[in-house]
Chains A and B, each alone.
Chain A
Amino acid sequence: MTTPFSSMAWIFLCGFVGSFGAVFLKSGASRLQLNFKAIVSNWRLAFGIGMYLLSSVFFVFGMRRGELSVLYPLVALGYMWTVVWSRIFFGEPLTKAKFIAVGMILVGIAFLGLGSQK
Chain B
Amino acid sequence: MKHIVIVGNGIAGITAARHIRKLSDYKITVISSESKYFFSRTALMYIYMGQMKYEHTKPYENWFWEKNRIELKYDKVESINIERKNLQLTKELLEYDQLILATGSNYNTLPNINPDIKGVQGLYHLQDLEKLEENTKNIKKAVVVGGGLIGVELAEMLISRNIEVTFLIREDAFWGNVLPIEEANIVTQHLAKMGVKVLINTELKEVHSSVNQRVVSILTSKDEKKDCEFVGLTIGVSPNIDLVKNTSIESQKGILVNEYLKTSEPDIYAIGDCVEHRNPPSGRKAIEQIWYSGKLMGETVAKSICGSLTKYEPDIFYNSAKFFEIEYQVYGKIAQILVANERTFYWGNAENNQCIRINYDAESNSVIGIHALGIRLRQATCEKWIRDKNTIQHVLVHFEDANFNPEFSKPFINAMLEKYNLEYPEKPILIKKNKSITNFISKIFN
A, B from the same assembly: no
User: Which residues does B use to contact A, with CB under 8 Å?
Assistant: none
